[in-house]
Amino acid sequence: GRAILGHVVEAGYGHVQYVAENCGGSSPPVKFADPMGLTDSRTFTAALLDVGRYANEALADVTDHALEHCRIKTRWGQEYDGEQMMEHATCHPGRHIRQLRRFLDGELGDPLFTLRS
């Protein structure tokens, strides 16, 4: 469960960074440089909010034209334009929300993330 939480934050920063680097954005500092080390829900929530802050700052100067015409080759081999990467970044957490719900409901047998007593 914690690995998924960290992955969601790390990927959020990474997707924004792809767009910023390839479509004319900037590289502001991240406040949670080690997302895989997040240990509690309060810090995880703060880290998610920081991904939003990071996106606002990093993409402030990216134009719609740039999003439509820049090309991004990902480390996993997929090629996107900036608009497609933004859509991917928006949908990506949804995949993991389902996994997290399974952890929280105890379906995966991890007692650390079971809400039921």
Instruction: Tell me how far apart the alpha carbons of residues 87 and 104 are, in angstroms, rounded to a whole number.
Output: 27
Copy the structure tokens of residue 94.
């949804």
Cβ(69)–Cβ(89) below 8 Å: no
Backbone angles phi, psi at 76, to 5 degrees: -95, 10
Q: Where are the domains of the chain?
A: 2-113
pLDDT (tens digit per residue) in 42-66: 888 899 999 999 999 999 999 999 9
pLDDT tens track for 65-113? 999 999 999 999 999 999 999 999 999 988 888 776 776 666 555 444 4
pTM of the predicted model as reported, rounded to 2 decimal places: 0.82
The tens digit of pLDDT for each residue in 5-56 reads 889 999 999 999 999 999 999 999 999 999 999 887 788 889 999 999 999 9
